Amino acid sequence: MADPQTHRLFIAGRWVESSSGETFESVNPADTRDVVGRFQQGTRADVAMAVRAAGEAFPSWKATPAPKRGELLYRFGALMAEHKERLAHAMTREMGKVLAEARGDVQEGIDIAFLMAGEGRRLFGDTVPSELPDKWAMSIRQPLGIAGIVTPWNFPIAIPCWKMMPALVSGNTVVFKPSSDAPHCATLLVELMEQAGFPAGVVNLVTGRGAEVGDAIVDSPDVPVISFTGSSATGRSIAERAGRRLKRLSLELGGKNAVVVLRDADLDLAVDGILWSAFGTTGQRCTACSRVIADRPIADELVARLVERTKQLRLGSGLLDTVDVGPLVNAAAVEKVASYIEIGKGEGDLVVGGDRATGGDLANGHFFEPTIFSNVAPMSRIAQEEIFGPVLSVIPVDGYDEAISVANHVRYGLSASIFTRDVNTAFRAMRDFETGIVYVNAGTTGAETHLPFGGWKDTGNGHREAGHVALDTFTEWKAVYIDFSGRLQRAQIDNQES
C-alpha cells in the first residue's frame, strides 16, 4: 500500500505542523493494515495559536453582512455536492459505515450548509409593539465570538457541519477539534472550506487528543461557546470545566433508543425499520435502535422474523456494494461490545450473533456479528446502557401503557418510534414519549436537517442542533428599545393608572 500522506493543522489560513512534532495514524477499521493518513498530534500551544487566529478574524467576520456570510456557506455546500463521492469514499475508508450511509452523511452536511446559507437572509428576531407610545421594540441576534467545536467520529462530515454552519452564518469564528478516529474527513472538509473562500482565521482545525486539544479549547477563556457531541461521560466532564467559566455549552450525548411494536402493527414494515435502525452504521448511531419493545401477542413472531433477516446481513468493507454491515470503529469498540455480550448472556436469550467476525476477508478488521437478545427485562444492563454496537434487546410487554413506561424508563431521551395502525395510539405516543425525536411507523433514525435535533434527559443539556433553533447556541439575544417621543417615558410606571 502507498505511503500514507501526512496532513497538517489549519490555523490562520495556513496548513501548519503541530508544535509537538508528533503525528498519529488513522487506519481503516475494515482492514487495519490500510493506513488512511498521518495527522498532527496537536498541543495546547497549537490551540492557543488557533484561538488567537480566530479572535483576530472575528471583528471583520462579524462585520460582514450575514447574507454575504451565507453566500460562502452556499459555495461550500456546492463544493461538498461536487465532491460528494470522494468524501463518502474517504468516510467509509476511515470509519467504516457502508457507502450508501456515507453518502447520506455527506448529504446531511450539504443540506445544513444550504439551510444555514438561507439563514444569512433571515436570522430572525422579533419586532413587537412597545407598551409606551412613540417607542419601538425589537430583538436581534449577535455572535458570541469564537466557537469551540468538538465532534465524534460516527457522523464525521454531518456533525461538524451541523455545528460550524450555524456558528459561522451568525458571525462566529471557529476552532474545530475532530475525533481522533476521523481526522481525515475533517481535513477534507476544512480543505473545501478554504476553497470556498472563508477568510483566514475564520475556520481553524486542530487535530489531536481529546484530553489535550479538547480540554485546551474548553478551558480557553477566549472561547465563550462550546458545541460538543460525543459520549455522556466526556460531555459531563466538559460541562464541569465549561461551567466553571460560565460558558455557553451545547451537549449532544448518548442514546438508548426504543422501537415499540404493538399488536396491530405492520410487522414487515416494523422488521425493515428495526433492522435499518439497529444495524445501520453497525449500531453506532446516537439514534440507533438498541431496544425493541414488543407487544406480547406478536413478540415471538417478531423475534423470529428479525432473526431470519439478521442472518442474511452481509458483513465486510463498506466500500463493497454487496455489504450491509461494516466494521466497528476500533479495537476498543469491539472489546466493549464483546463485554456486553457476556453481560447479556446472563440477562436474556441470545438468539442470533454474539461473536466477533474474523473469517476470510474480515480477518484484519474490527467486525462483530449483528446480535439479538430476546426476553430481556427492561431494567437489565443491556436494556439500559449505551453499547454503541450491533446489539439489540427485545423486551416483551403487555400493551401500550407498559410499552411507553418501559420506553421512558432509561437515562437517555434522544429518539423513539412506534409501529401501529391506530391513529389514536400514534398520537398518544407522540405525546407520551420522553424523547427529542419521535417517529411513527419508521425506525429511530432519519432526522432531517431543518427540524430540531437533540434529546431529553442525559442525552443533552437542553440545546438543539439543526433547524433554525441551532442558531440559539451561537448567538446572544439583544433587546433594543428606541424612544422617539422626545421625553422620558418610564416603562411599567408612566402608562399605569396608579
Catalytic residues: 252, 286
Q: Contact region for ligand NAP (CB under 6 A) — 146-154, 269-277, 360-368, 396-404?
A: 146-154
What string of DSSP letters covers 459-488?
Answer: TBSS--BSTGGGHHHHEEEEEEEEE-SSS-
Q: Contact region for ligand NAP (CB under 6 A) — 79-87, 153-161, 417-425, 469-477?
A: 153-161
> To the nearest whole angstrom, how small is the minimum distance from the Cβ of residue 108 to ligand NAP?
11
Residues 280-309 that bind ligand NAP (CB under 6 A): 286
Q: Contact region for ligand NAP (CB under 6 A) — 126-134, 225-233, 360-368, 426-434?
A: 225-233
Cell of 429: 405516543
Residues 438-457 that bind ligand NAP (CB under 6 A): 455
Residue 91 engages ligand NAP in binding (rule: CB under 6 A)? no
Residue 209 engages ligand NAP in binding (rule: CB under 6 A)? yes
> To the nearest whole angstrom, how small is the minimum distance from the Cβ of residue 328 to ligand NAP?
11
Question: Judged by CB, which is closer to ligand NAP: 192, or 239?
Answer: 239
Q: H/E element holding 192? A: helix 183-196
Residue 231 engages ligand NAP in binding (rule: CB under 6 A)? yes
> To the nearest whole angstrom, how small is the minimum distance from the Cβ of residue 315 to ligand NAP?
21
Residue 179 engages ligand NAP in binding (rule: CB under 6 A)? yes
Question: Judged by CB, which is closer to ligand NAP: 109, or 152?
Answer: 152
Of 260, 203, 199, 249, whose CA–CA distance to 227 is shortest? Answer: 249
Distance from C-alpha of 11 to C-alpha of 4, rounded to nearest angstrom = 22
Residue 167: what residue type?
Answer: A
Residue 215 engages ligand NAP in binding (rule: CB under 6 A)? yes
> To the nearest whole angstrom, how small is the minimum distance from the Cβ of residue 460 to ligand NAP?
6
What string of DSSP letters covers 44-82?
Answer: HHHHHHHHHHHHHHHHHHHHS-HHHHHHHHHHHHHHHHH
Q: What is the DSSP letter of 256?
A: -
> To the nearest whole angstrom, how small is the minimum distance from the Cβ of residue 9 to ligand NAP?
14
Question: Judged by CB, which is closer to ligand NAP: 177, or 468?
Answer: 177
Cell of 45: 500551544
Write the Ramachandran bin of 399: left for phi over 0, alpha for psi from -120 to 50, otherwise beta: left
Q: Contact region for ligand NAP (CB under 6 A) — 206-214, 343-351, 361-369, 483-491?
A: 206-214
Cell of 305: 422474523
Helix (H, G, I), strand (E, B) or coil at 157: coil
Q: Which of 43, 92, 154, 475 binds ligand NAP (CB under 6 A)?
A: 154
Residue 152 engages ligand NAP in binding (rule: CB under 6 A)? yes
CA–CA distance from 197 to each of 57, 62, 149, 193, 228 (Å)?
A: 14, 16, 20, 7, 25
Q: H/E element holding 435? A: none
Number of residues that bind ligand NAP (CB under 6 A): 33
Q: Which of 459, 464, 468, 474 binds ligand NAP (CB under 6 A)?
A: 459
Residues 6+ apart with CB under 8 A from 146: 51, 54, 55, 58, 172, 173, 174, 175, 220, 222, 223, 224, 225
Say how many Å lie between the first and final Cα of the chain, rounded.
85
Residues 244-283 that bind ligand NAP (CB under 6 A): 252-255
Cell of 270: 416494523
Residues 381-440 that bind ligand NAP (CB under 6 A): 386, 388, 414
Cell of 42: 496537536
> To the nearest whole angstrom, how small is the minimum distance from the Cβ of residue 177 to ligand NAP?
6
Give the x-and-dash track for 344-383 against ligand NAP (CB under 6 A). Answer: ----------------------------------------
Question: Judged by CB, which is closer to ligand NAP: 428, or 457?
Answer: 457
Residue whose grid cell is 467520529 = 153
Tell me the angle at which helices 183-196 and 158-169 cross, rounded to the nearest 10 degrees.
Answer: 40
Which ranges constitute the DSSP H helices of 65-172?
66-82, 84-95, 99-119, 158-169
Residue 237 engages ligand NAP in binding (rule: CB under 6 A)? yes
> To the nearest whole angstrom, how small is the minimum distance from the Cβ of residue 251 to ligand NAP?
8
Distance from C-alpha of 494 to C-alpha of 235, rounded to nearest angstrom = 49
Question: Judged by CB, which is closer to ligand NAP: 69, or 464?
Answer: 464
Backbone phi and psi for residue 472, each to the nearest 5 degrees, phi listed first: -65, -30
Question: Judged by CB, which is closer to ligand NAP: 166, or 171?
Answer: 166
Residue 150 engages ligand NAP in binding (rule: CB under 6 A)? yes
Residue 39 engages ligand NAP in binding (rule: CB under 6 A)? no
Residue 32: what residue type?
Answer: T
Question: Judged by CB, which is closer to ligand NAP: 58, or 155?
Answer: 155
Question: Judged by CB, which is closer to ligand NAP: 455, or 467?
Answer: 455
Residues 412, 413, 419, 423: is their CA dihedral positive or negative?
positive
Question: Judged by CB, which is closer to ligand NAP: 228, or 400?
Answer: 228
Which ranges constitute the DSSP H helices of 327-436?
331-345, 381-384, 399-408, 423-432
Using CB under 6 A, list all residues that contact ligand NAP. 150-155, 177-181, 209-211, 214-215, 218, 229-231, 234, 237-238, 252-255, 286, 386, 388, 414, 455, 459
